[in-house]
């Protein structure tokens, strides 16, 4: 069995000494100084994955941006929804009152050509407008980007030419897409025509004929290929 050794430095001359792990003292073979071995003298080496740390930091920043973007979007959507509800209720109330007044007034007057009947017809149109606003509000709630399982692509995603892949990835994740992979092409030597990080192509589930209006599943496989130095 090999004897484990630790590395300590001589406090006098600075030489590195390799001694047995269980020793509490030793003598420097270079200057003869007596060296007391304590835990703080042990040299522990750790392999630090700097790339992994940087990647984790980037992912954390992206996640924070996603949450911030989603929160702002949710607040804006909620404000629009509340305003539409108020408008629909107000128009619905006005429409009902106009219909009641128009029909009752026209019927009481006994004149089939009374303008009050026209008021009732206008009230019906106002009521239909209120119903349309209410239904459009429901559609937005059902298809909301932070709750629905599908979403449309942000502008930067389908118009990705000459965009930085990190920006495209961040916006896609902010829109709710989760299965995104960035692939370096390692095709640049001078970087004259294309800059490192510039997007070359974007595919969804293996297809590059993406649409700006179509809704895609948020877990669809998105691959962003970008120019990079080989």
pLDDT tens digits, residue range 44-97?
333 345 556 667 777 777 767 766 776 677 677 778 778 888 888 888 888 888
Mean pLDDT of 160-180: 87
Q: Is the pLDDT of residue 173 over 70?
A: yes
Mean of the per-residue pLDDT values of the chain:
76
Contact 96, 120 (CB under 8 A): no
| 21 vs 127: which has the higher pLDDT | 127
| 31 vs 89: which has the higher pLDDT | 89
Structure confidence at residue 41 (pLDDT): 44
Helix H or strand E encompassing 26: strand 25-27
The 10 Å Cβ neighbour count of residue 206 is 7
Helices (H), the chain: 50-109, 115-142, 155-158, 165-174
**Contacts of residue 156, Cβ cutoff 8 Å, sequence gap at least 6:** 163, 167, 168, 171
pTM: 0.40
Structure confidence at residue 191 (pLDDT): 55
b/e burial code for range 162-195 (CB count within 10 A of at least 16 → b): ebbbeebbbbbbbbbbeebebebeeebeeeeebe
Structure confidence at residue 70 (pLDDT): 65
Percentage of the chain lying above the pLDDT 70 cut: 75
């Amino acid at each position: 069995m090999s004897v484990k050794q630790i590395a300590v430095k001589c406090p006098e001359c600075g030489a590195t000494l390799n001694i047995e792990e269980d020793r509490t003292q030793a003598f420097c073979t270079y200057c003869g100084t007596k060296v007391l071995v304590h835990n703080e003298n042990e040299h522990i080496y750790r392999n630090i994955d700097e790339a992994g740390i940087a990647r984790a930091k980037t992912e954390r920043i992206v996640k924070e941006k996603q949450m911030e973007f989603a929160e702002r979007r949710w607040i804006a959507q909620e404000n629009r929804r509340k305003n539409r509800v108020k408008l629909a209720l107000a128009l619905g109330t006005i429409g009902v009152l106009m219909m009641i007044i128009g029909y009752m007034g026209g019927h009481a007057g006994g004149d089939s050509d009374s303008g009050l009947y026209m008021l009732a017809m206008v009230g019906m149109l106002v009521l239909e407008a209120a119903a349309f606003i209410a239904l459009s509000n429901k559609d937005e709630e059902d298809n909301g980007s932070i709750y629905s399982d599908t979403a449309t692509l942000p502008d930067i995603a389908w118009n990705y030419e000459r965009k930085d892949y990190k920006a495209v990835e961040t916006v896609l994740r902010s829109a709710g897409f989760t299965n995104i992979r960035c692939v370096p092409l390692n095709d640049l030597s001078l970087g004259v025509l294309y800059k490192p990080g510039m997007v070359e192509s974007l595919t969804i589930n293996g297809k590059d004929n993406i649409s700006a209006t179509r809704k895609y599943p948020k877990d669809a496989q998105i691959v962003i290929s970008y120019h990079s130095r080989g």
